[in-house]
Each structure stands twice: as C-alpha cells, then as structure tokens.
Amino acid sequence: MSVTDNLTLSRLDSYVRWGWLDRGAQKRGAAGWMARLGIRAASPEAPVVSLSGGNQQKVALARLLHQDCDVLLLDEPTRGIDVASKAQIYELIGRLAAQGKAILFISSYLPELLGICDNLAVMRRGRLGEKAPVAEWTEHAVLSAATGATR
C-alpha cells in the first residue's frame, strides 16, 4: 500500500465527499502529516515498504496522530530505528505533551525514559510498582525497582 493509503487508513471517512473518497484531499492530508513528522519518501504514492524503518515507524505514528486522540499509548515507538528518527520522535512527543495530550510511553531503554517523561512508573512481573516524578528517579533506582532489589 502507498504511504497515503497507509497513513489515512483509519480516518478514510474524513475524506469522503458525497459518498466518494476524495483522493486529492486524502493525498494532501497525508502530505501534511509527512511534512509535520519529517517522513522521507519519494512521494505520498510510494509503497510504504520502500521506506526506511524509521520512516515506516513515523508513518505508523502519523496514522495514530491522525485520529486526534487525547491519550496516546506508545509501546516502544523508537525500537529498531535510526538515531535521527529517534530524535524527531522525542521532539514530536514533547510537542504533543505541550498541546495537552496525555502520553503513556512504554520503553525498556532507560536514557530515553529519563529524558522525556514527566512521571515514571516501573512494572515488575506484570505488576505496577513504584511511581514518582522523573526527577526522583535515577537509572540505578529504576533497575532496582525492576529487578526487585531493595532500594
């Protein structure tokens, strides 16, 4: 599928005019999201599989943002992608939080958690453990909480 189709798949209804899909509007909508997230593709019509991993991830993220929800659940959104794309995604998360959206960010990579979260909670063996503002956490404390070692 093309980047356009992929990005707009869950919001196709918003491009329907008189019962028909307005392909021009759909393409413009997708192009807008591509610009906002810095998605690099030959064109909005390029197949999504032809994109790099980082750009594919950003397409998936754009599809979520297209829903315009107030709460976002991001499970490992930066896994397996290049450093530049990671930085863009962090920046985007910051902007979304500034707009007042609640973001539940799940990751096993400590530096990014300590870098972008406001509050941090640690899960251990499927149970929610300690939670506190991020300023009160250190890497060591997170690891201790995760492994069950006493703090």
Beta carbon nearer to another protein, 5 or 130 = 5
Beta carbon nearer to another protein, 13 or 68 = 13
Beta carbon nearer to another protein, 6 or 122 = 6
Q: Which one, of 112, 128, 115, 35, lies nearest residue 79 by Cα? A: 112
Least CB distance from residue 20 to another protein, whole Å?
5
Least CB distance from residue 85 to another protein, whole Å?
20
Least CB distance from residue 63 to another protein, whole Å?
7
Least CB distance from residue 1 to another protein, whole Å?
5
- Residues forming contacts to another protein in the complex (CB under 8 A) are 1, 5, 9-10, 12-13, 16, 19-21, 23, 63
Helices and strands, counts by H and E, the chain: 6, 6
**Both tokens assigned to 91:** 């920046």
Beta carbon nearer to another protein, 26 or 117 = 26
Q: Is 67 exposed, middle or buried (0-12, 13-18, 19+ CB in 10 A)?
A: exposed
Distance CA 7, CA 58 (A): 10
Distance CA 88, CA 99 (A): 17
